[in-house]
Structure 1
Amino acid sequence: MSDTTPENVIVLDQPIVRGTTTIDQIALRKPNAGALRGITLSDLLQMDVNAIVRVIPRISTPTLTEAEVRAMDPADLVDAGSVVASFLLKKSMKADLFPAT
């Protein structure tokens, strides 16, 4: 997947079962403005559950439903929310917050 990096792939502690398919990881791509429509960016930065639940189906591979995101393990939701929030930071801000070691 060209628009995701290993940091954007979330290995789920609690896999999502969809029929006979088990989803044990999801990849999140950086959202464009259209994927963020109707979402308050400050809510995403504050990791508001409702904002995260609305955005993840728009940027996940495989595409999750809102119901599947609402049923996610809290640890997995926090992990996904952290990735989404990091997408909203400029590269220079990320470098200041997370210096390379």
Structure 2
Amino acid sequence: MTEQANPHAVTLDTPIVRGEQTIAEITLRKPNSGELRGTSLNALVNLDVDALVKVLPRIATPAITEFDVRELDPSDLVQLGVTFADFLLPNRAR
């Protein structure tokens, strides 16, 4: 049996570097409704940067901060946003 790649793992084009720690991959998990607080569903569906800055740190492994999200390469933010947007779709739409 072959190991299937995690569809919610995003390999960053530009890793996050904090001192000696380097984060090259971020895995997102499906948020619960409470983790979407402080944003609107409309903003999240539209991949609004401010909405993603609030939500991504709540659902990312390894842990990242709002500052980390704001400093991401735009292509990495889009990759994470698209992965997050998949969680907003009902199962029948996937």
Matching residue's letter, 1:75: S
Counterpart residue number, 2:37? 37
Distance 1:38 1:16 in 2: 25
Distance 1:90 1:44 in 2: 15
Q: How many residues align?
A: 90
Distance 2:67 2:46 in 1: 21
Task: Give the alignment of 1:73-88 within 5 angstroms.
Answer: 73-88=73-88
Counterpart residue number, 2:64? 64
Matching residue's letter, 1:89: L
What RMSD, in angstroms, separates the aligned Cα atoms of the two structures?
Answer: 1.0
- 1:24-51 per-residue CA deviation (whole Å, 9 max, x = no partner) reads 0000000001111111011111111110
Runs of 4+ in 1 over 4 A off after TM superposition: none
Q: Percentage identity across aligned positions?
A: 50
Q: Which runs of 5+ in 1 are unaligned?
A: 95-101
Q: Which runs of 5+ in 2 are unaligned?
A: none
Alpha-carbon contact 2:38-2:54 (below 8 Å) kept: no
Counterpart residue number, 2:93? 93
Q: Secondary structure at the match of 2:7?
A: helix
Cα shift at 1:56: 0.4
Alpha-carbon contact 2:44-2:52 (below 8 Å) kept: yes
- 1:52-95 per-residue CA deviation (whole Å, 9 max, x = no partner) reads 1110000000110000100000000000000111101101112x
Distance 1:18 1:35 in 2: 25
